[in-house]
Amino acid sequence: MKRIKEFLKTLIDIIMLPEMMHLPGSLAFFIILSIFPILILISIASSYFSVSIDGMVNTLSIALPKGVEQLLLPYIQAGTFPRNIILSTIFAFILASNGTHALILASNSLYDLKSSSYIKRRVKALFLILLLIILFIFMISFLTYGNRIFTFILESVSYEPVNEVLYYLFAFIKWPIAMFIIYLAIKLLYVLSPDGKIYSATTSRGAMFSTVGFTVATAVFTFYVNNFSAYDIYYGSIATIVILMMWVYILSFILVIGIAINVRSYNKYKIKSMNNMLKKNNNISVL
């Protein structure tokens, strides 16, 4: 109970930070700019690696809010790409890196780090986008082809009780593994985004918070949009765009909170390390 109270107090303190007034909105803006190029890159990568588009669409249909799904899925289902695929892919990567570049700047602001040169940040942003796309393709491949592998295993086992156990086992581990991949992707972003050395151990809490936060926030927002929202009354034909903007802003807010949680863990880690070093040298602790 004490830990829960401490966590809630920390969460409230983070939400009240001045940076929370502008960083989530700025990050959300650039993420929205990067969403559609990312979808094009995912479609290109999926066709190259022969990943099922239908499986990807089914998975995203489950994960995305209804309005967002209607807006984004056509970009994956199109299956047609520009003639000059190389130049189009490069340009898509540059546009898609707007989101990760904004995350780098947000991380530097919260960690109070001096930003590296513009070119270095852009190169890192491109690398982060490539990393995210690879992880996304891996997750979709697991969710899509995992069913086929599971079916093959069941067909090779003739003992009915074993089949039932395997069925429930696979149903239990399938989505947790997907969640772990999301957690790993967020953790990598948190470690690599700042222009400074960030210890992986100090990003675990923020990554866990963001992973759970993304899942819960998307589920709640989807339920609200499907049952209570009246965006179409106020915004008409652009209601789906407004829903997309609201969803991305909520996720960006959670992402920035995760960074702030990591900053506190990082500062505590540095103080602890300095205390240990001073104790070894028989000096007085800094705290």
> For 146-192, what is each residue's pLDDT tens digit?
666 566 655 665 555 555 666 667 667 777 887 888 898 899 999 99
Separation between Cα atoms, residue 105 and residue 113, nearest integer Å: 9
The per-residue pLDDT for range 79-99, each reduced to its tens digit, is 555 556 667 677 777 888 888
CA 253/CA 33 separation, integer angstroms: 17
pLDDT of amino acid 204: 92
User: Given the structure tokens 């990003």, which residue do they identify?
Assistant: 203
Report the pLDDT value the prediction gives residue 187, as an integer from 0 to 100. Answer: 93
Residue reference for tokens 């993304």: 214
pLDDT of 86 reads 64
Q: Do 191 and 198 meet the contact criterion of CB atoms below 8 Å apart?
A: yes
Question: For 120-124, 140-144, 245-249, 282-286, which range has the lowest pLDDT when averaged over its residues?
Answer: 282-286
3 state SS of 21: helix
Q: How many CA atoms lie within 13 A of 78 on its CB side?
A: 15
Instruction: Give residue limits of the domains in the chain.
Output: 31-268
Alpha-carbon distance of 164 to 153, in angstroms, equals 12
Percent of the chain with pLDDT over 90: 15
Asked whether residue 254 carries a pLDDT value surpassing 70, the answer given is: yes
DSSP count for the chain of H helices, then E strands: 10, 0
**Residue 197 pLDDT > 80, yes or no?**
yes
pTM strictly above 0.75? yes
Confidence of residue 49 (pLDDT cuts 50, 70, 90): low
Q: What is the pLDDT of residue 138?
A: 73
State yes or no: pLDDT of 108 exceeds 70: yes
